[in-house]
């Protein structure tokens, strides 16, 4: 399942850089988690890194995004493929060519 951040968040900023999927971002008032990117850290770590580091324990499971471990793996693989495609997509534009 994806996780979520509750309104107990104190905006301490420590969880955002810990997320291996860039799923955490600053929302309108507090930090939020994109459920399409959160894999509960499956594929990267044994434990959710944001939960481990949050000083106020305000990151529970998101009940609207119930997912099995297998589904989380599939999400991890999709995110990894997307990232690889984004990084490898530089050949189209390529380096600037000097005008003759």
Chain positions contacting ligand SF4, by CB under 6 A: 3, 5, 9-15, 18-19, 21, 23-24, 31, 33, 38-41, 48-50, 53-54, 56, 58-59
Name the minimum Å distance from CB 77 to ligand SF4: 14
Q: How far apart are the first and last CA of the chain?
A: 56
Question: Which CB atom, from 38 or from 67, has the smaller least distance to ligand SF4?
Answer: 38
Phi, psi torsion values for 74, nearest 5 degrees: -65, -40
CA-to-CA distance for 66 and 75, rounded, in angstroms? 13
Question: Which CB atom, from 41 or from 67, has the smaller least distance to ligand SF4?
Answer: 41
Question: Which CB atom, from 49 or from 67, has the smaller least distance to ligand SF4?
Answer: 49
Q: Is 24 in a helix, a strand, or coil?
A: strand
Name the minimum Å distance from CB 85 to ligand SF4: 20
Under 8 Å between Cβ of 61 and 35? no
């Amino acid at each position: 399942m994806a996780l979520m951040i509750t309104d107990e968040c104190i905006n301490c900023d420590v969880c955002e850089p810990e997320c291996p999927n860039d799923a955490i971002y600053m929302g309108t008032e507090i930090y939020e988690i994109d459920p399409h990117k959160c894999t509960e850290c499956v594929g990267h770590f044994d434990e959710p890194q944001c939960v481990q580091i949050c000083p106020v324990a305000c990151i529970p499971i998101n009940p609207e995004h119930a997912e099995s471990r297998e589904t989380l793996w599939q999400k991890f693989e999709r995110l990894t493929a997307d990232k690889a495609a984004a990084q490898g997509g530089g050949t189209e534009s390529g380096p600037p060519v000097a005008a003759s």
